[in-house]
Structure 1
Amino acid sequence: MGKKRIIKETTEQVLKEKEAREARVKKKKEIKGKKLDIANIYIQSTYNNTIVTITDLKGEVVAGESAGAIGFKGPKKATPFAATKVVDSLINKIQKLNLDQVKVFVKGVGSGREAAIRALAANGLDILSIKDITPVAHNGCRPRKPRRV
């Protein structure tokens, strides 16, 4: 068959990638608008990505962020580390809103859901409630046939 080439990343490449990701986070525009006392935070964690959205109590979106938007690519988007970075980026975006209390709604089964909640708590937000809104099928679609290996 032949040998497979393994491309090793140098530390310079890793540092450049990290700086580019941080520059994208800083480049995002800041939120202008009303002051919020209580807000809803929706965390959608799939197998491929983590998306965090902040809305007011009426449901109007104030800000949103995802792992792909901050510069993570491929399978790195689904990691718990990416989820914490998404929450940190979103908190930086909404600092002017003086947000104190939040209600958290979690949807999905990805690996970033618990990491995102921990990051919210670590950033000093007072979490009023955590609710799981993952849709569950009541004998809905027929499952795919089992694989024969």
Structure 2
Amino acid sequence: MAEEKKLKTEEKKESETKTEVLEVEKNEEEVAKKKIKKAKRQISKGRATVKCSYNNTMVSIADLTGGVLGWASSGMLGFKGAKKATPYAATQVVANVSEKVKKYGLTELEVFVKGVGSGREASIRALANNGFDLTLIKDVTPIPHNGCRAKKPRRI
């Protein structure tokens, strides 16, 4: 009886040490996985797409193949309601996106502006002031060729 108890306790100790060793190996693997980082690619040219609506301003910066490097909107930065469509909000959005994209080494941008909001010029100016060389500024606002009926004008 006493021998059986000793064997059981020894087996428990062995299994506990095995689990501890396995846990240590898992932790070492996790540490090794964390150390491996993908190198950021260096990109010199990119495209900035600015969408300015009556309610919001969105900016995304992509490489020339279309892979998005960073994006932001004024609602994302905490602006609420009518403040989202202001020129100040547009400059803050551009500052946020340019901060995200600086690590890629972007220097030249082609800017495509879409929409009729008040943040159009402010966002273009902010892109130029954040250290980007603007090689192209193009208005790509969709214009219907007498397609769907337009919204009724607001009466204030």
Normalised to the residue count of structure 2, the TM-score between the two structures is 0.70
Q: Which residue of 1 aligns with 2:53?
A: 46
User: Hey, what does 1:114 align to over in structure 2?
Assistant: 121
Q: Kindly, what percent of the aligned residue pairs are identical?
A: 54
CA distance in 2, matches of 1:135, 1:146: 18
Residue pairs, 1:64-103, within 5 angstroms: 64-103=71-110
Two-structure CA RMSD over aligned residues (Å):
1.8
Corresponding residue number in structure 1 for 2:135: 128
5+ unaligned residues in a row in structure 2: which ranges? 1-38
Q: Counterpart of 1:106 in structure 2: which amino acid?
A: V
Q: Give the C-alpha shift of residue 147 in structure 1.
A: 8.5
Shift of 1:144: 5.2
- Amino acid corresponding to residue 123 of structure 2 in structure 1: A
* Offset of residue 146 of structure 1: 7.4
- Residue 84 of structure 1, CA deviation: 0.2
Distance across 2 between alignment mates of 1:51 and 1:96: 21
Amino acid aligned to 1:83: A
- Taking the aligned partners of 2:101 and 2:45, their CA distance within structure 1 comes to 13
- Within the alignment, does 1:59 sit opposite 2:66 as a pair? yes
Gaps of 5+ in 1: 1-31
CA pair 93-147 structure 1, distance change in 2 beyond 3 A = closer
TM-score (norm: length of structure 1) = 0.74
Distance 2:152 2:51 in 1: 28
Aligned positions, number: 117
1:142 Cα deviation from its structure 2 partner: 2.4
* 1:42-63 CA-partner distances (Å, limit 9, x unpaired): 0000000000001110111111
